Chains A and B, each alone.
Chain A
Amino acid sequence: MPGSPRHHPLQGGWLRRAREFSGFALPGLFLYGVLVLVPIVWTIVLGFTDRTRFEPQTGWAGLGQFSRLFQDDQFWLVLKNTFVVTLIVVIVPNVLGLGIALLLNRESLLYRLLRSVFFTPVILSGIVVSVIWQSLLRPDGVLNAILVDLGVDSGPRWLSDPDLALYSISGILCWQMLGFCVVVYIAGLNSVPKELHEAALMDGAGPLRRFRSVTWPMIAASVTINTVMLLISGFKVYEHILVLTNGGPGRNATASIAFDVIEKGVRGDRIGAAAAEATIMLAIIVAITGVVLRLLQRREVHV
């Protein structure tokens, strides 16, 4: 391709450049600024105040909200829950998704249909998925009825056992995200050139070795995409918790950090405290994004 892709016609007189800017870039940038950047800054500022909904006076609290959060067991619990959910949601659908992708990576009507089935929950809303699962996981719900038929004394208390509820929610999220991973992996697998496989076969490589040395390096990009997507979904989990357990059973047993922020700031009165917690959330995201971006960039060099 002749010329560098950065060399382009957006140049000319000052007036023309200004007109172009206001036509092409300004509307989007303005909205983004007013409804995303300003709110971010506002949240950070509010985190340093003692604002509550009904108190007319708002004063500076310095680092007060933060130090209180750090001393609050509940905050650490909520943070721990968020990391547990995120970790499970990043690992399980990734691993299972790859397995199922290998299983379903065949071209026929049957396999196409099966792939669509796996993808269906991905396009459902978290609310709908949670409503469905809540009805299945009730103490006398369908799932436990089946378990009892299979000879179990009494089914697990999926959503009311404090040791289990968080894993039930994570499992539901995994169910919802699995199809996404399957489809992305199948796309990745199909990008592996057939000749490479054939060459490896000629060399007498077994299925395992072929997977490790041919397939795996080629689907690395799929792994990144899935991981990023799952990280985002896991970290911001809110609706599932709201519908399935409302943060219980027990104090914040399944509350995530997003849930706690909404609970305090939108459904409760403590706007300052919620903003401080949101700021911490933001800091964690910045850290995660930094790591992920670095990984992405490194990959681009490789491919």
Chain B
Amino acid sequence: MLTFETPNLPASLWDSAIARVSAKVPGIKIKKLVTPNVDRTTYAKQLASSGQLPDIMMAVNPQGFAEGGQLAEFTPEELKDYAYPESGAINGKIYQLPTNAQPQSLLYYNKDDFAKAGIGKVPTTWAEFLDACAKLKTAGITPIAVGGGGQDTFASMYAWAGVLATDVFLQDPDFNKEIKSGARNFTDPAFVKATEKIAQLSKLGYLDKEGTSRSYADHEKAFRAGSAAMYPMGSWFATSVDNDKPPFGVGVFAWPSDDGKAVVPNLTGGGISVSAKAENLDLAKKFALEWTKDKETADAFTKADGTFNTVAGYKPPADMGPLFQETLAVYDKAVKDGTVTPAFSIEQGDNGLPAEFTVPIQQIAVELLDGTSDAATVAKKLNDEYAALQ
């Protein structure tokens, strides 16, 4: 079984969950394999290239593997307990259990910094957001933390994914599909306009550019040490804060859009995939399904990683911390308002972009954050890279 470790998901959490779920599936023997960095999809590819694809894989993007017949398909019967049983489908079939919803990203913020800069209420429109950034900067506080250094290029995406949600995906949730069909491309005015917003943040000096060399763990550590006032990050940061409070209050808000809608880019998926070549496919599948059904495991992951389990009827433990509750409220409100969108470069399956496009997008995002490429250049680069993948 392939797992990955982050500050939120340490080895002990995996070990106890594996032991617990194994006990429920008689006859199964699980050997844990940890990826060298958070990018488990690339690692799974590397394993596949040497013929060692693990039988059970946690949160690996199934694209490519699935079309190549490497993954086992889950039947509608097996998926009947899931709230969004079609999430992440590839050619209409499910290869990764849609176990949880995970908003990525939201804007977590340092309440002390906001107070110091005299920001009374969290921004709801983009204009207010820029205003807040300006106030922070005047107060000598770097407004926004960014990441993506070393092996952890993925952490560069969270700001860009936010503005693309408000300006592109909210209007057109099928943007990725249209890219793939050729109906639209990245020089699309809406896409460029959204990208321009990040370019502008960079130009105005609102981004903590040092972050682009920080590993993911350092990125979080830096925000906790007060490096910047806002931290665009996935919902797992909420539980991280609840479990280990930084020396300042942390709040959360959704991405502000031009017209004041509170937008939440989100990924439903993140569950287990099973190799089609698993020695004992039934057993492996049973393990995968038990993993999500096991209340204790679901609770443990909810507590550790702030995921919203999407197995119908699941209720998070009552003792979840305040920031998790706040995050869940933001998400629930967005669900009600219809402002939950796919997350750019993070979305998978039929509604996502090819898996191999992910790293180029993340690297190009760093150029955007850094100000080395403007929006037009970024759009052109994306078009070129996408063409090169075909």
Contacts and interface: CB of A to CB of B under 8 A. Distances in A.
Interface of A: 53-56, 68, 72-74, 134, 137-140, 157-162, 242-253, 263, 265-270
B150 A244 contact: yes
Nearest to A139: B210
Contact of B149 (A53, A72, A159, A253): A159
A53 B366 CA distance: 28
Given A160-B211, A162-B370, A248-B212, 6 more contacts: A55-B68, A157-B212, A160-B210, A242-B151, A250-B363, A266-B46
Contacts of A140: 222
Given A53-B45, A139-B210, A159-B149, A252 B363 contact: yes
B186 to A, nearest CB: 13
B64 interface: yes
B150 A245 contact: yes
B356 interface: yes
A267 B209 CA distance: 28
A133 B252 CA distance: 36
A250 B64 contact: no
Contacts of B43: 267
21 contacts: A74-B384, A134-B150, A139-B211, A157-B209, A157-B210, A160-B214, A160-B370, A242-B151, A243-B151, A244-B150, A245-B149, A246-B150, A248-B366, A249-B148, A249-B149, A249-B366, A250-B367, A265-B49, A267-B45, A268-B356, A270-B356
Interface of B: 42-43, 45-46, 48-49, 64-65, 67-70, 148-151, 153, 209-214, 218, 222, 356, 359-360, 363-364, 366-367, 370, 372-373, 381, 384-385, 388-389
B384 A73 contact: yes
Q: What's the dominant secondary structure at chain B's contact region? A: helix
A269 B151 CA distance: 19
Contacts of B214: 138-139, 160
A249 B207 CA distance: 15
B370 A74 contact: no
Contacts of B64: 53-54, 269
B148 A248 contact: yes
Nearest to A69: B388
B356 to A, nearest CB: 5
Contacts of B364: 250-251
Contacts of B70: 54
Contacts of A54: 64-65, 67-70
A248 B367 CA distance: 9
B45 A160 contact: no
Given A159-B213, A160-B213, A266-B46, A250 B68 contact: no
B213 A53 contact: no
A55 B354 CA distance: 14
Contacts of B148: 248-249
A162 B150 contact: no
B356 A160 contact: no
A160 B153 CA distance: 11
B384 A72 contact: yes
A160 B150 CA distance: 9
- Interface-central residue, A139, A159, A244, by most chain B CB under 10 Å: A139
Nearest to A163: B372
Given A68-B388, A250-B363, A269-B356, A160 B149 contact: yes
A158 B370 CA distance: 14
Given A160-B213, A250-B367, A251-B381, A72 B372 contact: no
Contacts of A243: 150-151
A132 to B, nearest CB: 14
A267 B68 CA distance: 16
A53 B66 CA distance: 12
A73 B383 CA distance: 12
A278 to B, nearest CB: 14
B151 A246 contact: yes
B213 A158 contact: yes
Contacts of B211: 139, 160
Q: Sorted from nearest, which 8 A-B pairs have the closest CB atoms? A: A54-B68, A160-B213, A250-B367, A139-B210, A160-B212, A251-B363, A159-B213, A249-B366
